[in-house]
Chain A
Amino acid sequence: MRHYTREELDCYRNSDMNLFSRIICTEHLKNCGSCHKLLDSLKEDDVLLDELRGKLDRLKQAADDNANKLKPLSGE
C-alpha cells in the first residue's frame, strides 16, 4: 500500500486534488493509521500557523499604533 506524502495530503485537504484522486485518498485514509496521523499533524501545524499570524500581527500593530499616535506630536 502506497502512503501519501505531507504535500499530497495538503493537496487533499485544501481541494487541490482532482475528484477521482480525492475519492481514492478518502478511502485510503479510512484504513491507514499512519496517513491519518500525518493528516492530523498537518492540522496541528495549522494551529501553530494561526498562532504565528496572530502574534506577528499583534507585535506589528503595537509598533504601528505607537508610530501613528506619535505623528501628530512630532508635527507640532
Chain B
Amino acid sequence: MAFTTRKSLLAKIKEGDEISWDEFYTAYRPLILLRGQDFDLKPTEKEDLVQIVMSEIFKGSREFLYDRSKGRFRDYIKKIINNQIARILRKRNNQEVPICDNDFSQINVLEQAWSEEWRAHLMKMAMTELKNYVEPATYQAFILYGVHRKTSAEAAKFLDISVNAVYIAKNRCVELLKKIISDLEAEL
C-alpha cells in the first residue's frame, strides 16, 4: 500500500499517464549527464545535452506521453541521447556533415557503459518509488543503514528505535526494492 496520494512515475508509466517536464527532468537529468560524460562533453555541452534531449522528448508540450508502439523506452531515449551527443560533437568541430564511422564505433564501444548507466538510473528511480511504499521512519532507517553505511547501532540511536527495528526496515526495503527494480525493468 502506498503512503502517498501522489501518483508515482512508475504508476504513470504503467497506466500510460502523461508525465510532467519537471518530473521527467528530475528523474532523467543525472542519466543524461552521465552519458555525456562518457563522450567527454564539456560541462556546458552536457547541460545543453540535457535541454536538447528534454526538448526532443517533449516537443514543445509541457507533458509527455510515451507511445509504446515505438518500442522500449530505454532504447528510445538512448537513441535520442546518442543522436544529440553526435550533433554536439559535430557542432564542436563546425562540421555540418553526417556523423563519421569513428563516432559510430565510439558509440558501440560505449554500449556497455550505457547498460551500467541505465541500471544506475533504474536504481535511483526505484529509491524514489520506494519512498511511496514505506513509512518515513522505515525509509529513514534504510537510508541511514543501507545507503549511508551507518552501523545498525548508530542508525538505531539516531532514530531512537531498536537495532532489530533497523534490520526490519532494511529487510522490508530491500524486498520492495527488488520488486520495484524488476517492475521498472519490465516496464521501461
Binding site for B on A (CB under 8 A): 6-7, 10-11, 14, 16, 45, 48-49, 51-53, 55-56, 58-60, 62-63, 65-66, 69-70, 73
Contacts and interface: CB of A to CB of B under 8 A. Distances in A.
A63 B29 CA distance: 8
Contact of A62 (B37, B119, B147): B37
A56 B127 contact: yes
Interface string B114-140: 000001110110010000000000000
Contacts of A16: 152-153, 163
Contact of A63 (B33, B147, B167): B33
30 contacts: A6-B167, A7-B167, A10-B167, A10-B171, A14-B151, A45-B171, A45-B174, A48-B178, A49-B146, A49-B147, A52-B123, A52-B127, A52-B146, A52-B147, A56-B124, A56-B147, A58-B34, A59-B31, A59-B34, A59-B121, A59-B124, A62-B30, A62-B33, A63-B30, A65-B43, A66-B33, A66-B46, A69-B43, A70-B47, A73-B43
Interface residues of B, number: 31
A73 B147 contact: no
B110 interface: no
B173 to A, nearest CB: 10
B136 to A, nearest CB: 19
Contacts of B168: 7
Interface in B1-52: 29-31, 33-34, 37, 43-44, 46-47
B120 A56 contact: yes
The 7 closest A-B pairs by CB, nearest first: A55-B120, A69-B43, A7-B167, A59-B30, A10-B167, A62-B34, A62-B33
B178 to A, nearest CB: 7
